[in-house]
């Protein structure tokens, strides 16, 4: 029985993780949950799974949850970053599913690593912001990081049983998102609801917008570099609209190993939770004859500048990827609030990166400073570009 804690239990990854756990009650037990503001869903999760500890975004929500649960509840209710860190390091837990979206996931993930918990990593921002520190810290605590992100989980599977020294190239697949075939001139008219309509994957808002701009893939390139110890120059992106091939590894002899499956996040989640074993019937059977055609094409970097920005930021190293991530979070939030257009998102990020003096990163404090700087700068640029 593996004892599990979930950071981000009411988000898309959290809900799918609980579904996997519910279907495998003899293998997994969840004892700790961290959520944000979705109290009705968190209450249902508490009633169903009976965790010993939960944490929510702030004191006010903790108070409301307490009222909702009534006095007979035995669950310990915490709040804020301290609460998240406690959920991440809760004594009996063996594996922490890190699925809080954005930079907010960094601190609790670090707490889990420091407490020696294995990590099922869905929060890519942790690796983008602080990859080098996270990898070092995980190694020194003997912690395994198993990727949940479908592409990285695929690469993890394609690497199993092979000699890492014989890897030539990682190939991340990307669906291309809803605007793959939209002419660039139309980008100015993209509405929030258009960007939220992803063709293949059901995901949270932030990651769905990131998929539409291809920033999600951009962040994934940086994430893959740290997770697999590869230079980003040896990581390519390939558009594959069917999302059946979840990513590939090319070896020195020209062999390419691909991992395939139906697009269902319960696949990579199941593999991460049960690794090195596989769960019976984790997702539906893939019928390639019914799928019929698999297409692959190069990404259009002129239409989707995010990819180029990520390679640039990764090349600069140090604080640049954290600044890239921070400015993206601010720009996406501004787009959601209708302050800037969809096409402005990469322009804001580029302007922030161009005005950033790259610094070395020696500690989490340095990472958070770079993140803070990026947010302020991006906020200023958003104000200048604001649609009146």
Provide the minimum distance between the beta carbon of 73 and Mg ion in the complex, in angstroms, as a whole number: 36
Provide the minimum distance between the beta carbon of 171 and Mg ion in the complex, in angstroms, as a whole number: 14
Q: Please identify, among the stretches 149-157, 166-174, 259-267, 300-308, the one whose residues bind Mg ion according to the rule CB under 5 A.
A: 149-157
Compute and round to an integer the Cα radius of gyration of the chain: 20
Give the strand pairing for 167-174 and 245-251. Answer: antiparallel
Give the up-direction half-sphere exposure of residue 75: CA atoms within 13 A in the CB hemisphere. 29
For residues 329 and 227, give the distance between their C-alpha atoms in angstroms, rounded to a whole number.
Answer: 22
x/- map, 282-321, Mg ion, by CB under 5 A: ----------------------------------------
Q: Please identify, among the stretches 6-14, 63-71, 148-156, 251-259, the one whose residues bind Mg ion according to the rule CB under 5 A.
A: 148-156
Number of residues lying near Mg ion (CB under 5 A): 3
* Secondary structure (DSSP) of 321-336: HHHHHHHHHHHHHHHH
Q: Within 10 A of 276 (CB to CB), how many other CB atoms are there? A: 7
Which residue is nearest to Mg ion, using beta carbons? 149
Provide the minimum distance between the beta carbon of 85 and Mg ion in the complex, in angstroms, as a whole number: 26
Provide the minimum distance between the beta carbon of 135 and Mg ion in the complex, in angstroms, as a whole number: 19
Residue 42 and residue 65 in contact, taking contact as beta carbons nearer than 8 Å: yes
Quick check: 149 binds Mg ion (CB under 5 A)?
A: yes
Decide whether 12 or 38 has the Cβ nearer to Mg ion.
12
Quick check: 223 binds Mg ion (CB under 5 A)?
A: no
For residues 150 and 272, give the distance between their C-alpha atoms in angstroms, rounded to a whole number.
Answer: 10
Provide the minimum distance between the beta carbon of 241 and Mg ion in the complex, in angstroms, as a whole number: 15
For residues 31 and 42, give the distance between their C-alpha atoms in angstroms, rounded to a whole number.
Answer: 13
Provide the minimum distance between the beta carbon of 53 and Mg ion in the complex, in angstroms, as a whole number: 29
Q: Please identify, among the stretches 84-92, 131-139, 145-153, 181-189, the one whose residues bind Mg ion according to the rule CB under 5 A.
A: 145-153
Nearest Cα to 107, choosing from 74, 129, 77? 129
Provide the minimum distance between the beta carbon of 215 and Mg ion in the complex, in angstroms, as a whole number: 12
Quick check: 210 binds Mg ion (CB under 5 A)?
A: no
Provide the minimum distance between the beta carbon of 222 and Mg ion in the complex, in angstroms, as a whole number: 13
For residues 212 and 178, give the distance between their C-alpha atoms in angstroms, rounded to a whole number.
Answer: 6
Identify the three-state secondary structure at position 265: coil
Decide whether 246 or 375 has the Cβ nearer to Mg ion.
246
Identify the three-state secondary structure at position 29: strand
For residues 116 and 304, give the distance between their C-alpha atoms in angstroms, rounded to a whole number.
Answer: 39
For residues 266 and 274, give the distance between their C-alpha atoms in angstroms, rounded to a whole number.
Answer: 12
Provide the minimum distance between the beta carbon of 148 and Mg ion in the complex, in angstroms, as a whole number: 9
For residues 201 and 107, give the distance between their C-alpha atoms in angstroms, rounded to a whole number.
Answer: 27
Q: Please identify, among the stretches 45-53, 100-108, 147-155, 186-194, the one whose residues bind Mg ion according to the rule CB under 5 A.
A: 147-155
Residues 39-98 that bind Mg ion (CB under 5 A): none
Decide whether 151 or 371 has the Cβ nearer to Mg ion.
151
For residues 203 and 4, give the distance between their C-alpha atoms in angstroms, rounded to a whole number.
Answer: 22
x/- map, 157-186, Mg ion, by CB under 5 A: ------------------------------
Q: Please identify, among the stretches 151-159, 186-194, 245-253, 358-366, the one whose residues bind Mg ion according to the rule CB under 5 A.
A: 151-159
Residue ranges in contact with Mg ion by CB under 5 A: 149-151
């Amino acid at each position: 029985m593996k004892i599990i804690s979930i950071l981000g239990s009411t988000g898309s990854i959290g809900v799918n993780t609980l579904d996997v756990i519910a279907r495998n009650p003899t293998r997994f037990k969840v004892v700790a949950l961290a959520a944000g503001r979705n109290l009705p869903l968190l209450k249902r999760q508490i009633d169903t799974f009976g965790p010993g500890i939960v944490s929510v975004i702030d004191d006010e929500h903790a108070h409301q949850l307490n009222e909702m649960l009534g006095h007979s509840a035995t669950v310990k209710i915490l709040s804020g970053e301290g609460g998240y860190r406690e959920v991440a390091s809760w004594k009996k837990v063996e594996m922490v599913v890190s699925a809080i979206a954005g930079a907010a996931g960094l601190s609790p993930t670090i707490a889990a690593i420091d407490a020696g918990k294995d990590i099922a990593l869905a929060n890519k921002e942790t690796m983008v912001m602080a990859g080098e520190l996270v990898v070092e810290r995980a190694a020194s605590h003997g912690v395994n990081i198993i990727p949940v992100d479908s592409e990285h989980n695929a690469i993890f599977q394609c690497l199993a049983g092979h000699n890492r020294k014989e890897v030539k190239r990682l190939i991340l697949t990307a669906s291309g998102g809803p605007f793959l075939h939209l002419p660039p001139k139309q980008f100015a008219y993209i509405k929030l609801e258009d960007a939220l309509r992803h063709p293949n994957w059901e995901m949270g808002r932030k990651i769905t917008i990131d998929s539409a701009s291809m920033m999600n893939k951009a962040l994934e390139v940086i994430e893959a570099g740290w997770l697999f110890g590869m230079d980003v120059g040896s990581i390519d992106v390939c558009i594959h609209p069917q999302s059946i091939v979840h990513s590939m590894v090319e070896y020195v002899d020209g062999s390419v190993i691909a991992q395939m499956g139906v697009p269902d996040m319960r696949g990579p989640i199941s593999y991460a939770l049960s690794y090195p074993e596989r769960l019976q019937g984790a997702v539906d059977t893939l019928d390639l004859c019914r799928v019929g055609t698999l297409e692959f094409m190069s990404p259009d970097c002129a239409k989707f500048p995010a990819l180029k920005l990520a390679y640039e930021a990764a090349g600069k190293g140090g604080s640049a990827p954290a600044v890239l991530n921070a400015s993206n979070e601010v720009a996406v939030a501004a787009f959601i609030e209708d302050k800037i257009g969809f096409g402005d998102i990469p322009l804001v990020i580029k302007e922030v990166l161009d005005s950033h003096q790259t610094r070395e990163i020696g500690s989490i404090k340095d990472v958070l400073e770079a993140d803070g700087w990026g947010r302020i700068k991006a906020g200023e640029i958003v104000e200048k570009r604001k649609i009146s």
